[in-house]
Amino acid sequence: MSTRLTTALHFLERPSSQTQARFLQSSLKAMEGLGDKPSLASAKGRKGTPAEILSAVAGGACFEAIDLYSEVSSYKQLAFGWSSSASLQPADRIGVISTAELDEAAHEALVEEVRSEAELAYSYRFSRDLMKGPTLYAFGMSAGLGYSPEEMNEAGRISSWREHLWEIAETEAQPGVRELFTWNLIRDEILDREVVGVRLEDWIASRKGHSLQRSGSVHVWRIQAAEAIAASNILRDLLIA
């Protein structure tokens, strides 16, 4: 299967060593639950087993980036990519998990486990073809796109998100809404914004195909796939990309 289900998590603050360890442990649990057992991990050029890197993180080691992935032969990697992977960039306050199997429950459980350890500012979930770099997409980088007008436009939107992430990294502000996906985790501040003359929360309540599950200061906004594009067009001024 070439499609990857990917969840991007934006932490409210730079994740502590304990939070980083929880994210990595939860990611491993989700991967193994789908039948994949990552055998390698890397952190700022240091490679080892997931257990070794996890131990270093839990012990307070500071890494710019941490990745978990399966070891496969080069030709298999080129043909199929990793079955699943997890990436964490603490300084950017971003964690990403991407799995080959479209298992919403595993991703839901991971988000809840991470939320029990640290507060999230924003999160979203999407499906994307492996050749278009779902993990890179989450970090605001494009891959596998051509030069058609549609693909050039998509590349521009991806770049806009990366520029937004750079801006908030410098100011320690919280991320806005990237685009509208079928699963979005948004905070109170976003719900209070005015869109088309009403509060966003009221607009969501008035629309078919939308549901809002309140939970603490961040809330799950689900949108039926057929409605997501139409909603994005209506709420264009709310979105970053």
91 in the same domain as 34: yes
**Model's pTM, two decimal places?**
0.92
Structure tokens at 109: 């459980």
Q: List helix spans (H) across 71-148.
A: 74-80, 104-115, 134-138
Task: Provide the pLDDT for residue 81.
Answer: 56
pLDDT-based confidence at residue 73 (cuts at 50, 70, 90): very low
Alpha carbon 36 to chain centroid, angstroms: 19
Beta bridge partners of 43: 46, 66
Residues 46 and 101 in one domain: yes
Residue 191: CB atoms within 10 Å: 18
For residue 19, the enclosing domain spans 3-138
* CATH assignment at residue 41: 3.30.70
Q: What is the predicted pLDDT for the residue at 78?
A: 45
132 and 225 inside one domain: no
d(CA 20, CA 165): 19
Per cent of the chain over pLDDT 70 is 94
Instruction: Please check the confidence at residue 38 and state whether its pLDDT lies above 90.
Output: no
pLDDT tens-place string over residues 90-124:
999 999 999 887 789 999 999 999 999 999 999 99
Domain finish residue from 138, 159, 188? 138
Number of domains observed in the structure of the chain: 2
Within this chain, do residues 121 and 186 fall inside the same structural domain, yes or no?
A: no
